[in-house]
């Protein structure tokens, strides 16, 4: 299958890419790793007349510590995220999740910014970003703005990034001592996309009380969402097995679980509850100093 013909642009700066977007408007698409866009173009689900390739734009890739956050450039590949020593030491769940994406080819070319801007309802990273409470740095003709994760995912493959804007950076807060996070998914056997995926991020105090809980779920509906019922069931509680199970039982509450080719809404709700329990247990183990 071949895509429809298009013109190809290689801007040398973010400003140049933004001015191309402003000029070409709806006829243009940004190209990052191409591992979602190119398949869609081959299937003719997307037929942009212009592709604006971000791969030669300097400064969009890389991982650095900045104050209390780790900043991930949008063009950082899944493999760079997976293998980052900084992330593995400070926020290992981000590396873990990147390592669960697709296969080596997908991870070598696909980018974290492309994945988050594309907002596939079965993508892994959105759940992790929700649980960790990240911020997105978006640049357009009017300058830079910052969007909190709860305002970022708008709907099926829709985000807060405007048609004439570029996602440039994701800022992940470094959790305090006593924190741990884990992402678990039930992968589709062929693509490895999440049939469902759950990320739990917890902070516990010296007495074992949960002082902060973030839980994100993906795969279940049209977009990744915060599992507010689970979070409410964890925060302020001593996390014994009964509390964990009661919280995890709320994993599908308030989530618009959709039946699809992978399973019924009941089946996916069940998977959500099971994976929520396992993710909370693993996150708690890490918060208490486990690996
Ligand atoms: C076989 C296969 C298996 C996969 N398995 C998984 C999986 O298990 N889990 C998972 O999460 N994903 C999976 N993916 C998707 C993969 O992670 C993609 O790489 C990712 O979704 C898109 O990233 P990309 O860099 O390839 O973006 P592209 O395909 O280049 O772009 C995707 C969309 O985002 C836009 N875009 C890209 N970058 C930006 C930016 N900086 N600012 C604004 N808009 C931007 C593009 O215009 C386009 O609309 C799989 C893909 C394939 C082909």
Whether 31 is in the pocket of ligand 1, judged by its Cβ within 6 Å, is yes
- According to DSSP, residue 126 is labeled H
Q: What is the pLDDT of residue 262?
A: 87
CA nearest to 184, candidates 97, 88, 90 = 97
Point out the ligand 1 atom lying closest to the alpha carbon of residue 77: 25
| Domain assignment of residue 167, given as a range | 63-173
Whether 47 is in the pocket of ligand 1, judged by its Cβ within 6 Å, is no
Distance CA 120, CA 201 (A): 22
What is the per-residue pLDDT across 208-243, written as a single tens digit (0 to 9) for each? 999 999 999 999 999 999 999 999 999 999 999 999
Q: What is the pLDDT of residue 261?
A: 87
Whether 36 is in the pocket of ligand 1, judged by its Cβ within 6 Å, is yes
- Ligand 1 centre distance from Cα of residue 209 (Å): 38
H or E segment at 167? strand 166-173
Q: What is the pLDDT of residue 191?
A: 85
Q: What is the pLDDT of residue 290?
A: 67
The count of domains in the chain is 3
Q: What is the pLDDT of residue 239?
A: 96
Neighbours of 140 (CB within 10 A): 17
Q: What is the pLDDT of residue 291?
A: 58
> Average pLDDT by consecutive 10-residue portion of the chain (291 residues)?
94 98 93 97 96 97 97 98 98 98 97 98 98 98 97 97 97 97 95 95 95 97 96 97 98 93 94 98 92 58
Whether 57 is in the pocket of ligand 1, judged by its Cβ within 6 Å, is no
Looking at residue 105, which CATH number applies to its domain?
3.30.465.10
Is there a single domain that holds both residue 187 and residue 278? yes
Is there a single domain that holds both residue 71 and residue 106? yes
Q: Are 176 and 285 in contact (CB under 8 A)?
A: no
pTM: 0.97
Tell whether 239 is covered by a domain.
yes
Point out the ligand 1 atom lying closest to the alpha carbon of residue 60: 41
Is there a single domain that holds both residue 162 and residue 251? no
Q: What is the pLDDT of residue 289?
A: 87
Q: What is the pLDDT of residue 56?
A: 93
CA nearest to 228, candidates 219, 244, 215, 240 = 215
Q: What is the pLDDT of residue 25?
A: 85
Tell whether 269 is covered by a domain.
yes
Tell whether 58 is covered by a domain.
no
Q: What is the pLDDT of residue 1?
A: 82
Looking at residue 33, which CATH number applies to its domain?
3.30.43.10
């Amino acid at each position: 299958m071949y895509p429809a013909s298009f013109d190809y642009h290689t801007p040398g700066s973010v400003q140049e890419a933004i001015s191309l977007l402003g000029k070409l408007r709806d006829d243009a698409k940004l190209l990052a790793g191409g591992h979602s866009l190119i398949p869609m173009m081959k299937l003719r689900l997307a037929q942009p007349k212009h592709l604006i390739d971000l791969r030669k734009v300097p400064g969009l890739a890389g991982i650095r510590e900045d104050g209390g956050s780790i900043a991930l450039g949008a063009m950082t590949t899944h493999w760079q995220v997976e293998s980052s020593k900084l992330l593995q030491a400070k926020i290992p769940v981000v590396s873990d999740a990147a390592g669960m994406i697709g296969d080596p080819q997908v991870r070598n070319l696909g980018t974290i910014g492309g994945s988050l801007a594309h907002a596939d309802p079965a993508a892994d990273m959105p759940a992790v970003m929700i649980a960790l409470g990240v911020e997105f740095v978006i640049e357009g003709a009017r300058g830079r703005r910052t969007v909190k994760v709860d305002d970022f995912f708008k709907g099926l493959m829709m985000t807060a990034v405007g048609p004439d804007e570029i996602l440039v950076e994701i800022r992940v807060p470094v959790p305090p001592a006593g924190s741990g996070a884990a992402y678990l998914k039930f992968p589709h056997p062929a693509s490895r996309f999440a049939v469902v995926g759950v990320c739990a991020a917890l902070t516990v105090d010296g007495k074992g009380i949960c002082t902060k809980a973030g839980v994100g779920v993906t795969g279940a509906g049209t977009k990744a969402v915060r599992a507010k019922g689970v979070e409410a069931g964890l925060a302020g509680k001593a996390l014994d097995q009964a509390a964990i199970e009661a919280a995890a039982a709320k994993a599908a509450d308030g989530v618009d679980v959709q039946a699809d080719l992978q399973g019924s809404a009941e089946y996916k709700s069940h998977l959500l509850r099971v994976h929520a329990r396992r993710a909370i247990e693993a996150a708690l183990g890490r918060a208490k100093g486990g690996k």
